[in-house]
Amino acid sequence: MENAPKTSVLYNASCPVCNFEIRHYAQYVHRNGLPIRFDDLNSDARGQWGLDADTAARRLYVLHDGRLTSGIPAFLVLWAQMPRYRWLARVVAVPGIKQIASAVYDHILAPVIYRWHVRRLRKHAAASD
């Protein structure tokens, strides 16, 4: 039970950008036996997070030692748990860099990726009708 996940990541596996990045992390975690679990928000696992699908699709969420974070703070927690990415967590956590990274993620990247996700859902729904 030593490697029981103490860090969990909630991500959107139906988003090509999100899935590509998180799949990369998941492969690294698996190869290195790290205690990190990855939950697809499109699965039953989302119910354990207490987030509705729309909220969960808007950004990355990480639960670590009972504390829920999202956005850049969530990436910092995730990266800090993976030896290969600890340097990135340290760099992005530097005051100034963290604020810029958070602003870019919160106001540009996450909204653009979310709108792309919503557009894909609408196209899929229209194709199903």
DSSP string covering the chain: -TT--SEEEEE-TTSHHHHHHHHHHHHHHHHHT-SEEEEETTSGGGGGGT--HHHHHTS-EEEETTEEEESHHHHHHHHHTSGGGHHHHHHHTSTTHHHHHHHHIIIIIHHHHHHHHHHHHHHHHHHH-
Q: What is the pLDDT of residue 125?
A: 83
Q: What is the pLDDT of residue 126?
A: 85
The residue ranking higher by pLDDT, 125 or 69, is 69
User: What does the chain come to in residues?
Assistant: 129
Q: What is the pLDDT of residue 3?
A: 53
Task: Give per-residue pLDDT as tens, 77-94.
Answer: 999 999 999 999 999 999
- Percentage of the chain modeled with pLDDT above 70: 96
Spatial separation of the C-alpha atoms in residues 119 and 90, rounded to whole Å = 35
Q: What is the pLDDT of residue 75?
A: 98
Task: Give per-residue pLDDT as tens, 1-51.
Answer: 355 678 999 999 999 999 999 999 999 999 999 999 999 999 999 999 999
pTM above 0.95? no
Q: What is the pLDDT of residue 1?
A: 36
